[in-house]
Amino acid sequence: MARKFKAEVSELLDLMIHSLYSDREIFLRELISNGADALDKARFLGLTREDLAPVEGEPGVRVTVDAEAKTIVVEDDGIGLTEAEAVKNLGTIAHSGSKQFLAALQEGDASAPELIGQFGVGFYSAFMVADEVVVESKSALPDEPAIVWKSAGKGTFDIGPGDKATRGTRITLHLREDCEEFADTWRLQGIVKKYSDFLPWPVLVDGEQANTAKAIWQETPTTVTDEEANAFYKTLSNDWQDPAHRIHVKVDSPLQYAAMLFIPSERPYDLFMQHVDRGPRLYARRVLIMEHAGELLPDWLRFIRGVVDSEDVQLNVSREMLQKTPVVRKIREALIKRILKEFKSITRREAEEGEEHPYAKLWHNFGVLLKEGAYHEHGETRDKLVELLRFNAVSHDDERGLLSLAEYKEAMPEDQDTIWYLTAESRDSALASPHLEAFRKKGWDVLVLTHPVDEWLVQAVTEFDGVKLQSVSRGELELDDEVAADAADLTGLGPWLQGLFDDSVAEVRASGRLTDSACVLVDSEHGISGNMERILREAQQDAPKAQRVLELNPGHPLVKNLAQLHADGKTDAAEPIARLLLDDAMLLEGTVKDPAAIGRRLQALLQSASEAALR
């Protein structure tokens, strides 16, 4: 009986068949890697169950070609598929990223073929080269009948009872006319070598082993070539680019483990997606225990790919047990240390290698995660991370290169004793902010923080090397003598304004931070900042209201006029001007809550200004 594919599968198949011509050979990589996964699953299940069907001979993946019949068969001795599993796994797309993959295909994104493996749509790549795919499978679980699944990739598939006698899956591809070039042993051997060399299972092409199948991470680090390691990284990560950096360690005591970790050269697409499995592969004595052992690295190192292999980890360890295993915790700590050391040495190379900028690249891709780390970690780890942080500043943008806190501190003039920063939505809005006026006058640099994570970072990192970090928009700044003299004129205006703005600001006072602007909103000493309130609200989270303070520049003509109007008892004339002054302060920081009301007030004021001009 013919069954229909889920709609997204049909769409996907159609796009894959019609848009990916150049990289069709990857179908073999995908089918072999599915076979190896199935072997891993069977081996893993076999650790705890004795009733799995046995394998005759050495388990592996076998590829056979029939040049006459124009067929390719890919067969494994893995876990196999029951009927229900075949319907579910070969008729739908489970992976959450598949929508993105479809979008990449539709937009003709050149990297689409490389994404196939990452998006969990590998099986369907068979239809890029075949106009009929037959899957015969027998589950390794006891008493499961063999099945046959068949499809021409045109919207439907058939499924029924089969006659495969041994456990595993046999996939027969009837090659499309324009893909007959693949019915060639030599060609297929080359493809296996290229993509599947380090799979830990033998892959045989027409009876001959075509891959190395060695555990490269167990080799002595100095003997592994970049070429080998990069090839291994690609099979492991589904990334098509070489990694930017590699960390390879083999340790014998006090713990025994080997790890090969990679820092990708680009940011993986799913870095900020939720519900994605993270963490390196975990092996115990070369047996794959877990595809993603998130327990081995903290979440902020989720961009690191690789493998960890330890004899000290029990073969049948469960995820729950893994969290509680002291060995795992110790390996995790050692890995964090080693990775931070690597980052540090990359910063040194940054200084030496001139044009290359390896650390700037790393920071560009993963700096946000290091900030996340500095927020979450404590003690020595945080200190090391803080040294690795890089910042934009008024004096430094991306083009001039970024600043470390040490460099900022080094450049501070003698009379400056605080590291100042400004959090804002963008660099432009930060640079336009009245908050910077006094700092410009003094010639003090200010760090410009524009990423949401920065608000969290500055809560955790409040000091560097004995110097306090402080926001330019928080708390009261000392008034210099000139400003203090003018401020005396505000004694009447201040309380009146405070009464007027009772529900929007906590205080009105004279400002020590303004030279040109009439007013500015600042955060009070305690509580969340206005920027944090904005970030939380944009993330649809309940945000407590930030306590804002309206600061007035007592020397500014507009403020002086307003004080005079108030002193003369002309509050009717003063009120609309005062309200627009507060609106203006909000406009300047980009946090206007009721633009329509401002529009109305502005029109009323313009009307009276125009009438005054006519008089």
Please report, as ranges, the residues that interact with ligand ADP according to CB under 6 A. Answer: 30, 34-35, 38, 76, 78-81, 89-90, 120-124, 169
Give the CB-side neighbour count of residue 87, counting CA atoms within 13 A. Answer: 10
Nearer to ligand ADP, 235 or 553 (CB): 235
Q: Which is nearer to ligand ADP, 119 or 303 (CB)?
A: 119
Closest to ligand ADP by CB, 126 or 578: 126
- The span from the CA of 487 to the CA of 429, in Å, is 28
- 11 or 407: whose CB is closer to ligand ADP? 11
| Least separation in angstroms between CB 241 and ligand ADP | 20
Going by the DSSP 8-state scheme, the letter that residue 474 receives in this structure is B
CA-to-CA distance for 441 and 65, rounded, in angstroms? 78
Nearest approach, Cβ of residue 95 and ligand ADP (Å): 6
d(C-alpha 166, C-alpha 136), whole Å? 11
Distance between CA atoms of residues 50 and 67, nearest Å: 40
Cβ 78 to ligand ADP shortest distance, Å:
5
Q: Is 506 exposed, middle or buried (0-12, 13-18, 19+ CB in 10 A)?
A: middle
Residue 387 C-beta: closest distance to ligand ADP, Å:
39
Instruction: Report in angstroms how near the CB of residue 148 gets to ligand ADP at its nearest.
Output: 14
Q: Which is nearer to ligand ADP, 199 or 394 (CB)?
A: 199
Q: How far is the CB of 102 from ligand ADP (least distance, A)?
A: 14
Minimum gap (Å) between residue 276 Cβ and ligand ADP: 13
Q: Which is nearer to ligand ADP, 74 or 510 (CB)?
A: 74
Distances (CA, A) of 225 to 119, 219, 222, 232, 358: 29, 11, 8, 11, 20
Q: Are 558 and 578 contacting, i.e. CB atoms less than 8 angstroms apart?
A: no
Cβ proximity to ligand ADP: between 89 and 256 the closer is: 89
The nearest distance, CB 327 to ligand ADP, in angstroms, is 30
What is the distance of C-alpha 54 from the center of its chain? 42
Residues contacting 364, CB < 8 A, separation 6+: none
- Contact between 424 and 481 under an 8 Å Cβ cutoff? The reply is no
Nearer to ligand ADP, 38 or 52 (CB): 38
Is the CB of 120 or the CB of 190 nearer to ligand ADP? Answer: 120
DSSP 163-225: ---SSEEEEEEEE-GGGGGG--HHHHHHHHHHHHTT-SS-EEETTEE-S----GGGS-GGG--
The H or E element that residue 304 is part of is: none
Shortest CA distance to 166 belongs to which of 330, 52, 1, 267?
52
**Residue with Cβ nearer ligand ADP (277 or 465):** 277
CB of 502 to ligand ADP, least distance (A): 59
Q: How far is the CB of 115 from ligand ADP (least distance, A)?
A: 11
Residue 432's nearest CA partner among 538, 585, 599 is 585
